Amino acid sequence: MSTDSAAKPAADATAEPRDFVRQIVRDDLASGRQAAIRTRFPPEPNGYLHIGHAKAICLSFGIAREFGGWCNLRLDDTNPGKENPEFVEGIKEDVRWLGYDWHELRHASDYFEVFYRAAVKLIEDGVAYVDDLDAEQVRAYRGTLTEPGRNSPFRDRSVAENLDLFRRMRAGEFDDGSKTLRAKIDMAAGNINLRDPALYRIRKVTHQNTGDAWPIYPMYDFAHALSDALEGITHSLCTLEFEDHRPLYDWCVDKVDLPNHPELWQPLIDAGLPTTPAKPRQIEFSRLNLSYCITSKRKLAQLVNEGHVDGWDDPRMNTLRGLRRRGFTPAGLRLLIERVGISKQNSVIDYAVLEGCIREDLDATSPRRMAVLDPLKLVVTNLPADHEETLAFANHPKDESFGTRDVPFSPQVWIEREDFAEVPPKGFKRLIPGGEVRLRGVGIVKCEEVIKDADGHVTELHVTLDPESRHGLPGADRKVKGTIHWVSAKHAVDTEVRLYDRLFSVPAPDDESDGQPWTAHINPEAKRITRGWLEPAAAGAAAEQRFQFERIGYFVADRVDHRPDAPVFNRIVTLRDTWAKQAGA
C-alpha cells in the first residue's frame, strides 16, 4: 500500500472524468453490450455511513448521472439483530446531503422469497446441500491457502433429503447454527471463497422489515449477487476486498439464471415491484483510505459506546453525519473523490488533502466575518467614549456578488491577544509598544500605553487613531506592516466556540505495533471549548451556515446546538495546514 501526500492537480472543469471504471462503461455502451447504465449503492444498515462510503456513493451515483442512467439505493438488510431503522434513515439523509438521489429505494429483504426459491432451485439442480457441520467444524474442513479443503460428510445427501431439510429449516424446526445451506462447488479450489460457501444460515431473530416471518437468512454473497441481477444492475461497483468474491458472485448469478426463470421472481411482480433481471458485471476499485482516520464500523461504534466521542454525529467522527456537523461541505467531499481518482491500487491519502479540498470550497463559498477568540481590550483614546459608527465591509474579498454588511464600531474593541507583543519575536508584524498597525477598515492606530494588572498581565491597550488613514482619505496610502481584525466591545456577541481537529494524533491509528491499543492514539486536543466574541452579523446565523472568521479559520453554526440568542460555532478547518510543521518536526 503506497502513501499519497498530495492531491492530484485540479481537473479541467470542462473535461470528462477519466478512470478505468468509466472507460469500461463507455466501451459497454459503444459496443452495445449495454443499452443503459444501472448501478446501485448497497450499504448495510448496521451503522452510519463514513467517509469511505463517500467514494462509493460518488462513483455509483455519479456514473449513473453522467451516462444518463439510474442508481438504486438498496439496503442490504440480511443480518437482523445488528440493523436499525435509525441507521436506514441516516443513510438516506447522508446520500441526499452528499448531493444524490436514488431511482428506487430497495431492500434485500424485498427479495427474501425470491432468494428462497433460488436456493430451492440450486438444491434441485444438485449444486447446493444442507450441511450439519458447526462453524468450528466448517473451518477445520475448509483447508488453508496452501492445502485443499475436505468434503463435508453431508455433501452427498440426495436432492430429496436436502429439499426436505431446507424446507424444515424454513419452517423453523432447527436451532440456530445447527444447519446451513451450502453451495456445492469445489473444496479444492484455489480461491477459498469457492470451497462450498454458505448460502443460508438459521437465525431466529426478528427482522426490522419482515418481523418473524423468516427463521433463515441468506448470506451476503448470495443475496448481494441476486439482488443486483433482480434489479437489472449493469455495473456492480465494489471495493477491492470483493475481488476474490467475484467468482462466487458470478457463480450465484449464472447458476440461478434469473432472466430465464421468471417463476423465481413472480412474487415481485405480484407485489408490484418492477423487475427486469439481467446479468450484472462486478468491477472492483480501491477504497478511500485516509491517514489519521478509522473507517471500521466496529471501531466507530466502539468510540461511541465507550464515550470517547459524543455520538455518531460528533464533529470529530469521520461519519458523514459527523463531518456534516463539523461543517465539511458536500462539494468539498466530492472534490476530494475527484482529486484522488478511481484506481485499482490501494493507497493512503494524507488527511491534509481532504482538508485542502474543504478549504478550497469554503474559500469560494463562505462569507467573511470577524471574531475574536482570545480577547484583549484595545481602547482608542482620541475618540469620544460614546463614539459609534457603522462601517461597510465586503462579505467576500474575491467575489463582489456576496455584497456588503454593516459592522458597528466603537472606541473600545476586542483584538486577539496574540496580535500584541511587548517583546516581539523576530518577524512580528503586529502591534507592539509604540508601534503602529492598521485596524481593519478603521485606520492606523499607534500603541501609546500598555495597562497591566497586579500580576503584570497585560489587560488593556490604549491607542490613538490616525483619522486620515482610513480608506478613501488622504493618509490611506501610508504604509504599516500589519493589519489586525477586531470586534466592537459594545456590540460583540458572546459565543461558544468548539475548536475541532483530527481525532487521532498519529497517521495510522490502527497500527498497534507500538504495543498501544488504537484508542491510545486519540488526540486529546481534538476538541477544545472556549468562548469568543462575534460581530453581530455572525451571531445571527442560521444553523449550518458557514463563515470564514478572518485570520482565524472556517467555522459553522452548529446544526444541533446553535441558536441566534446562544450561538455555538464549530471550527471546520484552520486557514492553513497546521499539521505540516508537526509532520516535519
103 is in an annotated binding site: no
Strand pairing of 105-107 and 70-75? parallel
Grid cell 459506546 in the structure block, residue = 305
**Which among 156, 158, 243, 150 has a CA at the least distance from the CA of 195?**
150
Q: What percent of the chain has a predicted confidence (pLDDT) above 90?
A: 90
Assess if CATH 2.40.30.60 describes domain 297-327+495-584.
no
468 is in an annotated binding site: no
Q: 368-491: same fold as 2-290?
A: no
Cα 122 to Cα 165, 251, 316, 522: the distances in Å are 14, 11, 48, 49
pLDDT tens for each residue of 411-450? 999 999 999 999 999 999 999 999 999 999 999 999 999 9
Cα 534 to Cα 71, 296, 398, 418, 531: the distances in Å are 44, 38, 22, 17, 10
16 in active site: no
411 is in an annotated binding site: no
H or E segment and range at residue 555? strand 553-557
Strand partners, 377: 414, 460
> Exposed e or buried b for every residue in 32-48, given b needs 16+ CB within 10 A?
eebeebbbbbbbbbbbb
230: exposed, middle or buried (Cβ count in 10 Å: 0-12, 13-18, 19+): buried
Model confidence band, residue 579 (pLDDT cutoffs 50, 70, 90): confident
SS3 57: helix
Q: Are 108 and 75 in contact (CB under 8 A)?
A: yes
pLDDT at 40 over 90: yes
389: exposed, middle or buried (Cβ count in 10 Å: 0-12, 13-18, 19+): exposed
Cα 166 to Cα 169: distance, rounded to the nearest angstrom: 5
pLDDT tens for each residue of 218-227? 999 999 999 9
For the chain, the farthest-separated pair of C-alpha atoms sits apart, in whole angstroms, at 102
Cα 575 to Cα 553: distance, rounded to the nearest angstrom: 5
Domain positions in the chain: 2-290, 297-327+495-584, 368-491
pLDDT for the residue numbered 320:
98
pLDDT tens for each residue of 504-529? 999 999 888 888 999 999 999 999 99
pLDDT for the residue numbered 387:
96
Q: What are the grid coordinates assigned to 376, written together? A: 484583549
Q: Are 527 and 570 in contact (CB under 8 A)?
A: no
pLDDT at 100 over 50: yes
Q: Are 373 and 583 in contact (CB under 8 A)?
A: no
SS3 394: strand
Amino acid at 174: F
pLDDT tens for each residue of 381-397? 999 999 999 999 999 99
Cα 542 to Cα 245, 536, 546: the distances in Å are 47, 13, 9
Provide CB contacts within 8 A for 583, sequence distance 6+: none
Q: 110 phi and psi, to 5 degrees?
A: -60, -25
66 in active site: no
pLDDT for the residue numbered 471:
80
pLDDT for the residue numbered 582:
59
CATH of 368-491, one of 2.60.40.1180, 3.30.360.10, 3.90.550.10, 2.40.240.10: 2.40.240.10
CATH topology of domain 2-290: Rossmann fold (3.40.50)
The one catalytic residue in 22, 44, 82, 203 is: 44
Provide CB contacts within 8 A for 194, sequence distance 6+: 185, 186, 247, 248, 251
The one catalytic residue in 203, 204, 279, 297 is: 297
SS3 454: coil
Cα 75 to Cα 439: distance, rounded to the nearest angstrom: 56
Amino acid at 2: S
Model confidence band, residue 21 (pLDDT cutoffs 50, 70, 90): very high
56 is in an annotated binding site: yes
pLDDT at 13 over 80: no
Rounded (to 5) percent helix, strand, coil in the chain: 30, 25, 45
375 is in an annotated binding site: no
pLDDT tens for each residue of 268-288? 999 999 899 999 999 999 999
Grid cell 477586531 in the structure block, residue = 486
Q: Are 570 and 352 in contact (CB under 8 A)?
A: no
pLDDT tens for each residue of 555-564? 999 999 999 9
82 in active site: no
470 is in an annotated binding site: no
The one catalytic residue in 65, 92, 167, 287 is: 287
